[in-house]
Amino acid sequence: MDELRQSVYFTSSFDGVRLAYGIAGRGHPLVRVPNWISHIEHDWQSPVMRHLVLEMASRHKLVNYDCRGVGMSERDVSDMSFDAWVHDLEAVVDAAKLERFALWGISGAPAVAIAYAVRHPGRVSHLVLCGGFCRGRLRRDASAAAIEKARVMMQLIEQGWGTEEPAFRQVFTSLPGRDGGAMALVYRDDAQGSFAANRAAHAPAMANDRRNRSRPPGALPDAGVARTPRCDRAV
């Protein structure tokens, strides 16, 4: 089990923002691209993520990092753009001295993973994308009702993020999955509340970035798709 003990490191992104990343396990490198809430230490105890990070680290050299603004990475950040997130991934894999590796993304992370793979196709061996997207909701051929729902959710983010009102957090806590159990729901609510105050100032920017996110240019050569049964447990 010693190889499953995570070692934590820090590096700087293109604009000097400090990023925390952890390495555990052996084997072909697997980089977990973070989604909107993460904490590279707490994930190892989380009822939402623990089973996944343990399984992945038992089979691979798992590189896990916190994106800017959350977890152990620098919290007070002005640039929360999509390009900044891609540059953060570039900084972490370079700091970890990875040559060729797989990318694993859940929820909002697949868009970042896809963009990186388009920019650096020779370095990405596999893309493992779970419950994600490559085009933002308002850039798809969505119905008027779906677009209106997306706008309402973004307004909730802008108005409710970082407040002491738990009703706002519970809306987002209940969205990621239906079968995670009470402990997972409590964990997501607590984590969201803990990180919310640190990102409250950036809520409009975060919402606008999700609104404008589009499919990265280009295509992945020889890419294949393996579909798996839907699982809401960890997303």
CA distance 210 to 154: 9
- The pLDDT of residue 224 is 52
Which tokens sit at 84? Answer: 């900044």
CA distance 167 to 212: 26
Residue 121 has pLDDT above 50, yes or no: yes
Residue 3 pLDDT level (bands cut at 50, 70, 90) = low
Domain boundaries, the chain: 2-212
Say which range, 174-178, 214-218, 224-228, has the weakest mean pLDDT: 214-218
CA distance 117 to 218: 10
Q: Which of 142, 93, 138 is nearest to 113 (CA)?
A: 93
- The pLDDT of residue 31 is 98
CA distance 217 to 117: 11
Q: Please, what is the angle between helix 144-160 and helix 166-173, to 10°?
A: 140
CATH code linked to domain 2-212: 3.40.50.1820
The pTM of the full predicted model, rounded to 2 decimals, is 0.74
Top pLDDT among 202 and 165 is at 165
How far is residue 90 from each of residues 21, 65, 183, measured CA to CA in Å?
12, 12, 34
Are 39 and 191 contacting, i.e. CB atoms less than 8 angstroms apart? yes
